[in-house]
Structure 1
Amino acid sequence: MTGERTRMMPVGVVVRRLPGVTRWQKWSWRPVSLLPGAGEAYWKVLRADGDLVEYHAATLSLELHRTETEAYLIALSDKVPSVYVVMRAAPELEPGVPLELLLMTASAHEGLDYADSSEVIVEKVPMTPGLIAWIREFVDMHHEEEIFHKRQRDRTRVDLEEDGIGDPRIRQLGDVYRAPGLRKKDTIQ
């Protein structure tokens, strides 16, 4: 197991439906918890209590890659260690299915990249203690600290020449900032 480059685990996503807070949105949908090692499911009702309903919406594959260990450490060191669940509004083909769950990532960098898009919804869902231990073990196995090397400045003096000032078609040294083609009598007064 020491030579593994990637690691995968199926993880179920529990989505909670609550009544909407405005008259324009009937329901509020939000992923609230994870089920590590879950089997396949498709919007299976787990709990119903009045208007509150929790669904096992989908089981996604959580993949870890050894080149992303720094991003996993950032996610693990967060106040509440979380994975990022990427979703989008489901097509109108199936009634009662509001969201299409696309992927799940433990990489803080990848999660934030998806959050920059307006085409998808990204939610942070807290990791279970077992999932934290599973990711931490992978990071401990593969993470290598990068040593910071400060760049040394050149000793070349760049302030001795005034490159790019003015237009070379203008002959007078005092008029280097004047636009070519404008003469003094053409200026607006």
Structure 2
Amino acid sequence: MGSDVRPPETEARLVGVILERRKLDNPWVDYSWRPVQVLPGVPDSPPWTKLAEGEGWTQFYAGAAELVLYRHESETYAYNIESAQPAVWVFLRNSGETPGIELHGASVDPGEAHAHNDTGDDIVDFVPMPEAILAWVTDYVRRHPPTKQHYKRKRDRADPEALARRTRLYESDPLRQMPEDE
């Protein structure tokens, strides 16, 4: 299966990502970057269009990111949308090209956000999920409910007779010698 072929239950949607750059008083780093909003569609503006500016900060439309929903991840989507603050995670990477950061992607899957955070190369932050995206994800989870069944593991019962049948290491292994009394 090629990388552009997806299972039939997969759905995708493009979102626009707005980032904020803040000036830092730091000898090693000039700016910090963080997502401030995800738009439920993609505007006509080209990536890195300046949207707003204030003292020490500038907001940019960073570009489009694709949110992809997979049936086997519906349990994590449900966890996200049922949380106190449903979120869209945005993934950024430092870049050697202007403006010094690149939009790497976005997701509504907390597990995917965790995986990106573990790489150490990505900047991972979340923004509140827009109502239109929340409605889309909620409908997807309704149509593709989580299928994982949770089973409570049961411990094996201890066999008290098994302990009595154990042999000592030196008795069962001819290469070992019985310790000598000193």
Taking the TM superposition and a 5 Å limit, the aligned residue runs for 1:11-160 are 11-39=15-43, 41-90=46-95, 92=96, 94-95=97-98, 97-154=99-156, 157=159, 158-160=162-164
Tell me if structure 1 keeps the 8 A contact 2:93–2:101.
yes
DSSP-derived class of the 1:12 partner: strand
- In the TM superposition, residue 163 of structure 1 has moved relative to its aligned partner by 7.1
Equivalent position SS for 2:163: coil
Query: Is structure 2 residue 10 aligned with structure 1 residue 6?
Result: yes
Describe the superposition over 1:49-105 as per-residue Cα deviations: whole angstroms up to 9, x where unpaired: 233210001101111111110011122233321122122101x2x33x121111211
Counterparts in 2 of 1:35 and 1:165: CA distance versus 1, 3 Å: farther
SS of the residue 1:18 aligns to: strand
Cα distance in 2, alignment partners of residues 161 and 146 from structure 1: 41
The alignment covers a number of residue pairs equal to 170
Task: State the structure with more CA Rg.
Answer: 1
- Aligned residue number for residue 178 of structure 1: none
CA distance in 2 between counterparts of 1:27 and 1:163 reads 67
Cα deviation code 1:2-41 (max 9, x no counterpart): xx50111110110001121434322121111101111463
Report 1:160-179 matches (<5 A): 160-162=164-166, 165=169, 168=173, 169-172=175-178, 175=179
Contact 2:72 2:146 (C-alpha < 8 Å) held by counterparts: no
Structure 2 unmatched ranges of 5 or more: 1-7
Q: Is the 8 A contact 1:75 1:83 kept in 2?
A: no
| Alignment partners' CA distance in 2, 1:44 and 1:65 | 31
**Structure 1: segments with no counterpart, 5+ residues:** 176-182
User: Among the aligned pairs, what percent are the same residue?
Assistant: 27
- TM-score norm. by structure 2 comes to 0.80
Partner amino acid, structure 2, of 1:88: R
